[in-house]
Each structure stands twice: as C-alpha cells, then as structure tokens.
Amino acid sequence: MTIVEKNFTAMGTAPLIDPFGRAVTYIRVSVTDRCDFRCVYCMSEDMNFLPKRDLLTLEELDRLCAAFIGLGTRKIRVTGGEPLVRRGIMTLFRSLSRHLESGALEEVTVTTNGSQLAKYARELFDCGVQRINVSLDTLDADRFRAVTRWGDLARVMEGIDAAQEAGLAVKINAVALRGVNDDAFPQLIEWAHGRGMDLTFIEVMPLGDIDAARVDQYLPLSDVRKSLMQRYSLEPIDYQTGGPARYVRVKETGGRLGFITPMTHNFCESCNRVRVTCTGTLYMCLGQEDAADLRAPLRASDSDDGLVGAIRDAITRKPKGHDFIIDRATANPAVGRHMSVTGG
C-alpha cells in the first residue's frame, strides 16, 4: 500500500486510483481558454473562444478544486489560456490558500506567459504560491514577437523581475522549435541559471490545428540533448517536481535543466494528473479525446455527492497514455483541442 493509500484508508476515504494503479493527486485547472498572446505552436491567429456564459464562475472553480482536494489532490496548477488575464482571478488564489494553510494541499502553482506578472506577482506570493512557471522560448525581442505574435519581451522580463523580487521561485519553460530558438539554447540556459532559475525544454505536441505544419516546428529533445552534451556536462539528478520533466544538472552553470519529452520518451507510466477546463470538462489525458462533464453535477446540487461520483467514474476511464505522432504522413493533430483549452 502506498503512503497515499494508507492515509486515505486511515481517513475512511478511497483515493483516486486509475485502472493502471496510478494515484491521481495532481490537477491542472485551465481557468480560461483566452490569451493575450497567439503563440505559433499553440494557437492559430484566428481563434474562436468559448462564450463567456459557458465558463464556470470562480466560485464554481473553487468548489471543484475543493472536491478534488477531498479526494486526495495534493497539488493544483492554475493554467489556461493565460490564467492571469481572467478577470478577478486573484479571488480564486485567495480562496485556494485556505487549503494550503490547513495542510490539505501541498502546493498551488501557476503557468503563465508572464505578461501580467508585474501586476500580480506579490499577490500570488501572499496567497501562498511559492513556485511559478513562466513560458519563454527566446531572449530575442523580435523573435519573441514573431513566436508569440502579440507578445512584448520587455514586459515579460519586468514580470520575471517582479516575481523574483516577490520571492517566487521561477522556472522557465521553453518549447524547442526548429528554426526559431534551436541556435540559442546555451544562451537561454546561461541566462536562466545565471538568475537562479530552473529551465525546462518541451517538445512540441500535435494538439489542435495551427497555421503552420507541426513537422516543421518539431525538434526532438534527444537531438537537443546530444548537441548540448558537446558543450556541457549534463549530470542526471533525482529531482522531481511532480510533473513529467526529467532533470540534469549542468555542471558548468550549476543550474537545473529539465526535459519534457512527450514525443521521444513517453512518460505516461508515471502520470499522476488530470486536467479540468474552464467549462468544467475533465480530461483524463492531455492527448486523448475522452472527457467527463463536471459542470452538470456541480450545478445540479449544493451537495458534492454527484460531483464526486462523476470524478470517480471518470478516473476509472483514465487511459494508459497518449499516442502522439508528428511526421509528414500524419496531417491531423492527435486531438482537435488546443493546449490552451486543456491547460498546459
């Protein structure tokens, strides 16, 4: 029996265990599908967003999170779209902080593009957030504008400064993109590590239709790793954040470098998470279509019985893993929805 199972047995509640024996203790909550950027690998330039009337209110999102915490969720990542553009979003962080104070929850984290961080960093820290991920693929302002279509690098840099000043640990996430940032990985590594930040590279995934061909963007991280090893000593370390990244220490900088490799090295066997969208749709896997509607049971009653039942039922359908393919012969994405809908 695992520690999670023992704790729950002691409490008389069954933890969420999927058909492959994996305990689900981590949720990613996408609080909006909207964003102030249009990253070329994430969205097309013309996106149709969900009508606002379909969205869960912040109070409903809070209730949903509380139901998961009651079922053993220990970690919540708030994501999107761009989570910090949702109006009133700090209300959700403030109310989630009660679970951190009570010890029911270990961690609340955020994934953000950084555009609103200068405004919100201190408040996030005051709400008990200790670590955040900021997505930043290049340090070149023109390239940054090209890759995000609408982003301003200087503003993101101000946001990162504000986050560090507020006491937040910042991890930088960079999607490895052929022809965009593949000549500047050492620069990113040295910049991030020079500022005391971890850096994680991510392989692009075939999620949703975009204006470009994925195959032209895709860069296997196995190749990136080999080329970095010509320049640096990469020492495997046993560091885990609960996510899918595998870390090394770069001996020359002393910093941590993570690799998220959904394409070249499937990490699904250790998957501990599920994702909830801003409309209350629960996706048991980022790369599969099966989903469960949690909004209807949430709204049907003030009691959480129906909601808890729907969550438990969905977990019995959590698939073994994703089946991502990026090649010239495979034109369609693995799933139709963009990463901004399911939440990164």
Contact positions toward ligand SAM, by CB under 6 A? Answer: 35, 41-42, 79-80, 82, 111-113, 135, 173, 175, 202, 204-205, 207, 339-340, 344
> Per rule CB under 6 A, is residue 340 in the interface with ligand SF4?
yes
CA distance 59 to 130: 23
Residue 54 CA to residue 342 CA, distance in Å, equals 15
Stretch that binds ligand SF4, among 34-42, 52-60, 254-262, 307-315 (CB under 6 A): 34-42
Count CB-CB contacts under 10 A for residue 58.
19
| Least distance CB 239 / ligand SAM (angstroms) | 19
Q: Is residue 18 involved in binding ligand SF4 (CB under 6 A)?
A: no
Count Cβ atoms within 10 A of the Cβ of residue 245 and give its class: 0-12 exposed, 13-18 middle, 19 or more buried.
buried
With CB under 5 to 8 Å by kind, the binding choice for 202 among ligand SAM, ligand SF4, none is ligand SAM
Using CB under 6 A as the binding rule, whether residue 35 contacts ligand SF4 is answered as yes
Segment contacting ligand SF4 by CB under 6 A, of 15-23, 79-87, 97-105, 287-295: 79-87
Beta carbons of 147 and 169 less than 8 angstroms apart: no
From residue 201, give the alpha-carbon distance in Å to each of 59, 221, 330: 34, 8, 24
Site for ligand SF4 in 268-327 (CB under 6 A): none
Binding ligand SF4 (rule: CB under 6 A), the pick from 37, 247, 259, 324 is 37
CA quadruple 48, 49, 54, 60: dihedral, nearest 10: 160
Q: How far apart are CA 228 and CA 185, in angstroms?
A: 8
What minimum distance in Å lies between the beta carbon of 3 and ligand SAM?
A: 30
Q: 246 and 261 in contact (C-beta within 8 Å)?
A: yes
Of 25 and 113, the one with the shorter C-beta distance to ligand SF4 is 113
Q: Tokens 């695992």 appear where?
A: 2
Residue 200 contacts residue 260 (beta carbons within 8 Å): yes
When CB distances are held under 5 to 8 angstroms depending on the partner's kind, the choice from ligand SAM, ligand SF4, none that residue 261 binds is none
Nearest to 204 by CA among 218, 222, 184: 218
Nearer to ligand SF4, 80 or 255 (CB): 80
Does residue 210 bind ligand SF4 (CB under 6 A)? no
Using alpha carbons, select from 30, 93, 29, 28 the residue that is nearest to residue 340. 30
Contact between 134 and ligand SF4 by CB under 6 A: the answer reads no
Nearer of residues 25 and 30 to ligand SF4, judged by Cβ: 30
Comparison of 81 and 262: residue with beta carbon closer to ligand SF4: 81
- 38 is in the binding site of which of ligand SAM, ligand SF4, none (Cβ under 5 to 8 A by kind)? ligand SF4
Binding map of ligand SF4 across residues 38-77, x = CB under 6 A, - = no contact: xx--xx----------------------------------
Q: Which helix (H) or strand (E) holds 174?
A: strand 169-176
Instruction: List the one residue from 73, 113, 200, 261 that touches ligand SF4 (CB under 6 A).
Output: 113
Q: Which of 82, 137, 198, 203 binds ligand SF4 (CB under 6 A)?
A: 82
Partner interacting with residue 205 (select from ligand SAM, ligand SF4, none; CB below 5-8 Å by kind): ligand SAM
Closer to ligand SF4 by Cβ: residue 18 or 82: 82
Residue 51, class by beta-carbon neighbours within 10 Å (0-12 exposed, 13-18 middle, 19+ buried)?
A: exposed
| DSSP H or E run through 198 | strand 198-203
The one-letter amino acid code at 148 reads T
DSSP label at residue 48:
P
Nearer to ligand SF4, 81 or 280 (CB): 81
Q: How far apart are CA 169 and CA 273, in angstroms?
A: 22
Give me the least distance between CB of 208 and ligand SAM, in Å please: 7
The vertex-253 CA angle with 248 and 258, nearest 5°, equals 25
Contact set with ligand SF4 (CB under 6 A): 35, 37-39, 42-43, 80-82, 113, 135, 340
